[in-house]
Amino acid sequence: MMLEEQLKKHMFFNKTGGYSVRKGSRSIVETLNYTAELLADKNNLVLIFPQGEIESIYHQTFRFEKGIEHVIEKVKGKVQILFVVNLIDYFSNQKPGLYIYFTEYSGSDFRSENLAKEFSIFHASCIAENLRKKEL
């Protein structure tokens, strides 16, 4: 799930099951409810860009939109939240390396401000870990 403008810019997400949400429209509630319905089935996975758009991997400050709270509240049952950080780095190589970090959010505070804060901490630790790899 991503903003409609972002999905138009990155059309390849349509081929992977991507769907959009239009911020400020009446359909946003329908889209968020649809997302909660998908997550009610434990066999489904939904990737959400909770900050509303695709940003640089080196962006340091994250602000999550409130839609994530709505989705979590609507899901009946347990919700598993995974934070994912993808870092691309060349180090001293000709070809870049992709470093994928993920961790499960184990907290119980699902407010968007708290999720953004916890994600920012995780993101900073991923960058620090990536820099340590460069030093090796």
Q: What is the mean pLDDT of each run of 10 residues along the chain (136 residues)?
A: 85 86 87 91 87 75 88 88 90 85 94 94 92 76
The whole-chain average pLDDT of the chain stands at 87
| Structure confidence at residue 13 (pLDDT) | 85
Backbone φ and ψ for 113, nearest 5 degrees, come out as -65, -40
Contact 3, 21 (CB under 8 A): yes
Percent helix, strand and coil across the chain, each to the nearest 5: 45, 15, 45
* C-beta atoms surrounding 133 within 10 Å: 12
| Structure confidence at residue 62 (pLDDT) | 87
| Structure confidence at residue 34 (pLDDT) | 92
The two tokens of residue 118 are 């916890």
| Structure confidence at residue 51 (pLDDT) | 79
pLDDT tens sequence across 65-81: 888 899 999 998 788 99
Return the exposure string of 22-37: e unless at least 16 CB atoms fall within 10 Å of the residue's CB, then b.
eeeeeeeeebbebbbe
pLDDT tens sequence across 97-114: 899 999 999 998 999 999
**Residue spans per domain, the chain:** 2-135
| Structure confidence at residue 136 (pLDDT) | 63
| Structure confidence at residue 101 (pLDDT) | 96
| Structure confidence at residue 113 (pLDDT) | 94
